[in-house]
Amino acid sequence: MTQGAKEERRAKVIEVLNQARSMELQAIHQYMNQHYNLDDMDFGELAAKLKLIAIDEMRHAEMFAERIKELGGEPTVSPAGGVEKGQDVEVIFPFDANVEDETLDIYNQFLLVCRENGDAISMKLFETIIEEEQAHFNYFDNVSDHIKKLGASYLARIAGTPAEAGTMSGGFIGNQGGA
């Protein structure tokens, strides 16, 4: 096997790791923006969850960066896209469920790229993160469902709840006792 082929395979893995990192950087900003908006709208409990999930995405961005560095690459600082601002509470949760659903699909494809190019460690990294994105999807989908089915009465129960995420700096996953 030539050195060139090995470098080529490594470059393909770095490429998908960086694309994933870009998606994480976009998600961090999107979820932080929703955290502040939900807090403004006084949906404290939902705001706190968005904050924790943004922290999870930051952890993911760092995990991808660490692996990229290990492979000799340069972690990107560019988000994959911009932030949707001023979304209503009814819009946020189906929107985020869709973000996570797309992410699951794309990361599963990236995992295959890692496998095809013989990188078991990057493959395992995607596997770990995919599990966490699935937990995010489940949460967003669940809230989205509640809002759709129960509407005002569900939202009235949330209104005025505390927005404190407390000492739960481990993020959403950490608070559930880990992935």
| 96 counts as binding Fe ion under rule CB under 5 A | no
Smaller CB distance to Fe ion: residue 60 or 67? 60
Instruction: Choose, by CB under 5 A, the member of 57, 75, 140, 173 that binds Fe ion.
Output: 57
Stretch that binds Fe ion, among 21-29, 37-45, 110-118, 146-154 (CB under 5 A): 21-29
DSSP letter string over 28-69?
HHHHHHHHHHHHHTT-HHHHHHHHHHHHHHHHHHHHHHHHHH
| 133 counts as binding Fe ion under rule CB under 5 A | yes
| 35 counts as binding Fe ion under rule CB under 5 A | no
Residue 53 near residue 136 (C-beta atoms within 8 A): yes
Calculate the CA 108 to chain-centre distance: 14
Instruction: Choose, by CB under 5 A, the member of 136, 163, 165, 173 that binds Fe ion.
Output: 136
Query: Minimal CA–CA distance to 5: which of 113, 114, 117?
Result: 117
Query: Minimal CA–CA distance to 78: which of 119, 18, 34?
Result: 18
Distance in Å, CB of 124 to Fe ion, minimum: 16
| 59 counts as binding Fe ion under rule CB under 5 A | no
Task: Enumerate binding residues for Fe ion (CB under 5 A).
Answer: 24, 57, 60, 133, 136
